[in-house]
């Protein structure tokens, strides 16, 4: 049977793949596994459950709370809040478990569930595997006063807002910021945070109705915020996704500032404040070579991981690094959270603009982005991509041709029979020519 848990919890078409029954069973199994590992030893367990505004989140959150309560866990219903807010609240309240119902940037029909252990950390693979193995197992049900109780969490948003504002190194007075909240989980807390920090806020994508999350708005649909920043003559724009664990930015001219540029800007700010542990940024293999050149030039080190925020976080925890993330805008600042936080990232970026008196355009000039071309080669034997001598020979030839002005990356997809060919070069034309040449070789050598 295929593994239920992906890189970010269990996700699928709501009420088809992710049903109320499965969600309830996953919640029961999670409670049992954590209890068996001693996480609940000596006390009555508590959990916090949150969701994004998707219509399906209403019944899936209810199923989650029912499952946990039936397993003897007291549950606090946080309602609609961003994923990083739930992670923070799990740690802040000192509860044993958290659950978030969201499919992040996916379209409305999808939904997902992810769990957080004590401290607000995502579960590791071994615990997730144990939860899957526990599904459907017999268990002794608590009765009487041993069943869990379900109560509203009334001050979750306020505590999260206080946390965001306490992290800021300076206020945002005088800045005009356009916020695109994707009709998602941050539609109320994100603009409130920016306003309390002193910014003037124009909001778009801020009217969630349960059906419109990520629909043409948010960090995966930047055309509207690009137009809005120019129309309102704002200083910058910040766009988060549906559960607000990532963000991308837009400068005053409407140009996109991606996760690599955001991390480079924040790295320099954190270095100045002596908050960049080991003077190192953790990035993935997909981060633009221009970012790596910029970090080198500024005397900063970097560590590269596989694609996925969980791999970035694992490396940060292992080495004690305080900044890491992905090109997609999933930025983790370990001093302030255990997961990516789009609202916090946007606030920190705006704070840097306010503190320096420089425009976002000027700040982003620290990094020159190299043209990047990605070709997906479908219908091939992806597992031979790393060992085929013919492919490796052509890769070496292209790398020698590009020298220090570019790079090559071949990655097999984790879910489809395809190989991703990525080439960066000093011009788009050169990157395209090299990527197409490599893709042709992959297609020929790995044909099924």
Q: Is 243 annotated as a binding residue?
A: yes
104 is catalytic: yes
Q: Is 77 annotated as a binding residue?
A: no
* Placement of tokens 């997909």 in the chain: 286
Strands (E), 81-199: 97-101, 110-117, 121-122, 150-152, 176-180
Q: Of 56, 62, 102, 104, which residue is the catalytic one?
A: 104
Residue 99 Cα distances to 13, 94, 123, 327, angstroms: 18, 14, 11, 26
230, with CB counted inside 10 A (0-12, 13-18, 19+), is: middle
Instruction: State both tokens at 39.
Output: 């996480």
- Residue 214 DSSP one-character state: T
CA atoms of 68 and 81, how far apart (whole Å): 19
Among candidates 196, 360, 351, 342, which has minimal Cα distance to 275?
351
Among candidates 52, 67, 34, which has minimal Cα distance to 100?
52
176 forms bridges with which residues in the sheet?
200
Q: Is 56 annotated as a binding residue?
A: no
Among candidates 14, 87, 6, 7, which has minimal Cα distance to 47?
87
Q: Is 223 annotated as a binding residue?
A: no
Phi/psi of residue 19, each to 5°?
-100, 170
Catalytic residues: 104
Q: What residue numbers does the annotated binding site for Mg(2+) cover? A: 104, 241, 243, 245
Q: What residue numbers does the annotated binding site cover? A: 104, 241, 243, 245
């Amino acid at each position: 049977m295929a593994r239920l848990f992906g890189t970010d919890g269990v996700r699928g078409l709501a009420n088809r793949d992710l049903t109320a029954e499965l969600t309830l069973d996953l919640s029961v199994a999670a409670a049992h596994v954590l209890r068996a590992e001693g996480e609940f030893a000596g006390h009555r367990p508590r959990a916090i459950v949150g969701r994004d505004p998707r219509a399906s989140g209403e019944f899936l959150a209810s199923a989650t709370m029912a499952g946990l309560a039936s397993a003897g866990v007291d549950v606090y219903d946080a309602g609609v809040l961003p994923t990083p807010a739930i992670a923070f609240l799990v740690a802040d309240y000192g509860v044993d478990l958290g659950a978030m119902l969201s499919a992040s940037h996916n379209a409305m029909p999808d939904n997902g569930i992810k769990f957080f252990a004590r401290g607000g950390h995502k579960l590791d693979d071994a615990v997730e595997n144990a939860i899957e193995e526990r599904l459907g197992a017999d268990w002794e049900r608590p009765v009487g006063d041993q069943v869990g109780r379900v109560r509203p969490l009334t001050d979750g948003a306020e505590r999260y807002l206080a946390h965001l504002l306490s992290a800021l190194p300076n206020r945002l007075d005088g800045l005009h910021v356009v916020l695109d909240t994707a009709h998602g989980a941050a539609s109320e807390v994100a603009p409130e945070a920016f306003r309390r920090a002193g910014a003037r806020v124009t909001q778009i994508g801020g009217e969630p109705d349960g059906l419109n999350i990520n629909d043409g708005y948010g960090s995966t649909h930047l055309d509207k915020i690009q137009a809005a920043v120019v129309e309102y003559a704002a200083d910058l724009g910040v766009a988060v996704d549906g559960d607000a664990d990532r963000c991308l930015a837009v400068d005053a001219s409407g140009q996109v500032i991606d996760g690599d540029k955001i991390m480079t800007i924040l790295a320099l700010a954190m270095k100045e404040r002596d908050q960049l542990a080991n003077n190192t940024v953790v990035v993935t293999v997909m981060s633009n070579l221009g970012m790596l050149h910029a970090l080198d030039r500024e005397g900063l080190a970097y560590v590269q991981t596989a694609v996925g925020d969980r791999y970035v976080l694992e490396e940060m925890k292992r080495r004690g690094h305080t900044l890491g993330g992905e090109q997609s805008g999933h930025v983790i600042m370990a001093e302030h959270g255990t997961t990516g936080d789009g609202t916090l990232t946007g606030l920190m970026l705006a704070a840097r603009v306010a503190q320096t008196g420089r425009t976002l355009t000027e700040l982003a000039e620290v990094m020159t982005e190299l043209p990047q071309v990605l070709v997906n080669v479908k219908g091939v034997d992806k597992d031979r991509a790393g060992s085929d001598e013919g492919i490796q020979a052509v890769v070496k030839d292209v790398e020698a041709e590009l020298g220090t002005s570019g790079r090559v990356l071949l990655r097999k997809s984790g879910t489809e029979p395809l190989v991703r060919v990525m080439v960066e070069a000093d011009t788009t034309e050169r990157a395209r020519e090299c990527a197409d040449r490599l893709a042709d070789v992959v297609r020929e050598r790995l044909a099924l």
